Amino acid sequence: MGDSSNNVKVLGSWASPFVLRPRIALHLKSVNYEYIEENLLEGKSELLLKSNPVYKKVPVFFHCDNSIPESLIILQYIDEVWSSAAPSILPSDPYERAVSRFWAAYVDDKWFPALKATLAAETEDAKKAALAQVEEGLALLEEEYGKLSKGKPFFGGDQIGYLDIVFGCFLVWIQVIEKFNEVKLIAEDKTPGLFQWADRFCSHVAVKDVLPDVDELAQWGLKLRAKILKAKATLK
């Protein structure tokens, strides 16, 4: 990748979809960076707790001796700092930028908790309810993809943009949930737009090398589920 400045680093976990966001953005902008792996199943490092004391979550982005937490904020920061490097991540049109931010908030605040709930569900009914919410959200995103893409390959148009990265980072986790539940969540007959978009996104040069392996992620997911259920049992 091209030249970068002032020691760019990403602290993250290979299994975290949120960590994929800054990594994809940096690949898009051709910015060199150092990746530091955080083993979340073993606990949280001193570096993580010191650099993100409020949320204590990955990713954390380091640039010019500053640390920046929260993936959506990091994406905007990368786009602004490397504004001269194409492509632009956020839309230039204020309305389109606002719409992209709205759907990004929806994905993180409403849709992703449902996806996570399918992994942590203790009963079959709870799992079915969570899967129904996930599918409802995908139907909404299918409709929005049609509007935002305007017939072009990505939510961002001709190039991967903000909402592509925000939602696309969950695609491998969607495959894991499909594997666990023997369902197809993104399918040609149900979400034809997203089905084609997902293939384009995952095979993009800025994305394919940072996506985790589905089978490895599934194994990690089983360990995460065991940890979540153990924590729930402790609280009872």
Give me the domains of the chain, ranges plus CATH numbers. Answer: 9-81 (3.40.30.10), 94-215 (1.20.1050.10)
Q: Is 92 a residue whose pLDDT tops 80? A: yes
Q: What residues contact residue 182 under an 8 Å CB cut-off, 6+ apart? A: none
CA distance 26 to 32: 7
Does an H or E element contain 148, and which? helix 124-149
The answer to whether the Cα torsion of 12, 17, 18, 23 is positive or negative is positive
* pTM of this structure: 0.95
Share of the chain above pLDDT 90, in %: 89
Q: Is 37 left (phi over 0), alpha (psi -120 to 50) or beta?
A: beta
Q: What is the mean pLDDT of residues 210-234?
A: 91
Map residue 217 onto helix, strand or coil: helix
The backbone torsions φ and ψ at residue 87, rounded to the nearest 5 degrees and listed phi first, read -85, 165
Q: State pLDDT tens for residues 22-37.
A: 999 999 999 999 999 9
115: Cβ contacts below 8 Å, ≥ 6 apart = 130, 134, 170, 173, 174, 177
